[in-house]
Amino acid sequence: MPSKPKTKEQKRPTGIVVIAEHADGHIKPVTYEIIAFAKKLQHTTQSNPVKLLLLGDEVINPAQELAEKSGLDVTGVQIPEMRSYNGELYLRVLTEYFSDKPPAFVCIAHTSQGLDYAPALAVKLSAACITGVGEFFDGAGGISFTRPIYGGKINARLRPAPPTSILTIQPGFFKADRKNDPSTKGKITILSTSARTRRSRPLGIKPADTDTAGISEAKVIVAAGRGIGEKENLDFIRQLSELFTKSAVAGSRIVCDMGWLGYQCQVGVTGTTVSPQLYIACGISGAVQHVMGMQNSEFIVAINKDPSAAIFQTADICIVDDLTAFIPAFIRTYNEANNNMGG
């Protein structure tokens, strides 16, 4: 990979770089949330414009998509040997890329992929590392970041030591910007490297089971809590989810702990943070750990037979009823209305 000549005196880093996540030739939605965070941070710190970095074996099309939708400059690093994500390659390429001129902040999604390489990258660059960032503040002592601790019951505020900080940003905490004006498309630079792995070799990607449905990317999420009563009542949750396009079934931690749903379906501080257009909480009490993971949803509906359930304090619409009676009645009414319109 071409490197820039070193100077005798290195200026203090001021830039912000977002490392994009992509799959199947398209940018993952979480990347645009991280870009929104980075733009807000750039505005506050008055640093250089945000730049985007993309790694993979085929980066030209994703780079074009990213430059068009974000309006920011994109650097794509073409790695022919990396047909799927490989943490060892990411670490090696990013370390080389940032070695000459590291930015002030490297922003990475707080996902399984981001958490796989972010701490190691911080070690390689002798940088600070703050994971699970949910917000930042500008004070007299400089920029500080908050992250939930103790299961989301407390927010810790941390101020990283300069010059470089590696940050993983919680999905769902920052709303992605609207589509950029095509006339302000960012510049695209494509580099290449022949980096190879030494310790690991990816064998492929196995698709998740049906109930996962990509909860981090779903427009509508129907979530089940312990209040649904029995595992068999998940059928009601699935039937309700099927009424919507781009929907997914999710669950609270206890539902996943009991094995009713896989952990990939768990919403909350210890699961996935989501921000769909519609979140329907079914039989969920509203523990703070769960609410932290879905409170940024655009619209929240809660169904619970307990009128004092804490989830009602977060919901836009509160339905006090037995979900095993309400959901079938709602589905029946919905289908009848559709049939009448069709007739």
Q: What is the DSSP string of 112-123?
A: HHHHHHHHHHHH
- List the chain domain ranges: 16-192, 220-342
Phi, psi of 161 (to 5 degrees): -85, 135
pLDDT in tens, 31-66: 999 999 999 999 998 888 899 999 998 899 999 999
Q: Is 267 helix (H, G, I), strand (E, B) or coil?
A: strand
Q: Does domain 220-342 have CATH number 3.40.50.1220?
A: yes
Q: Is 290 helix (H, G, I), strand (E, B) or coil?
A: helix
Is the per-residue pLDDT at 259 higher than 80?
yes
Q: Is there a common fold for 16-192 and 220-342? A: yes
% helix, strand, coil for the chain, step of 5: 30, 25, 45
Q: How far apart are CA 38 and CA 187, in angstroms?
A: 18
Between β-strands 22-23 and 26-27, what pairing exists: parallel, antiparallel or unpaired?
Answer: antiparallel
The residue-averaged pLDDT of 205-216 equals: 62
Residue of 2, 90, 107, 115 lying closest to 45 (CA atoms): 107
Percent of the chain clearing pLDDT 70 (strictly above): 89
Q: Does domain 16-192 have CATH number 3.40.50.620?
A: yes
Mean pLDDT score of the chain: 87
Is the per-residue pLDDT at 265 higher than 70?
yes
Cα 173 from chain centroid? 8
- The string over 98-135, giving b where at least 16 C-beta atoms fall within 10 Å of a residue's C-beta and e elsewhere, is beeebbbbbbbbbbebbebbbebbbebbebbbbbbbbb
Q: How far apart are CA 19 and CA 13, in angstroms?
A: 17
Contact between 311 and 268 (Cβ < 8 Å): no
| Tokens coding 58 | 């085929």
pLDDT higher at 333 or 208: 333
Is the per-residue pLDDT at 280 higher than 90?
yes
Q: Is 312 helix (H, G, I), strand (E, B) or coil?
A: helix
Is the per-residue pLDDT at 117 higher than 80?
yes
Q: How far apart are CA 77 and CA 60, in angstroms?
A: 9
**Cα-based distances in Å from 273 to 133, 170, 241, 291, 317:** 12, 7, 19, 9, 21
Q: How far apart are CA 53 and CA 219, in angstroms?
A: 26
Phi, psi of 146 (to 5 degrees): -110, 145
Confidence at 140, pLDDT banded by 50, 70, 90: confident
pLDDT in tens, 57-115: 889 999 999 999 999 999 999 988 787 888 888 999 999 999 888 899 999 999 889 99
Confidence at 252, pLDDT banded by 50, 70, 90: very high
Is the per-residue pLDDT at 234 higher than 80?
yes
Q: How far apart are CA 258 and CA 167, in angstroms?
A: 33
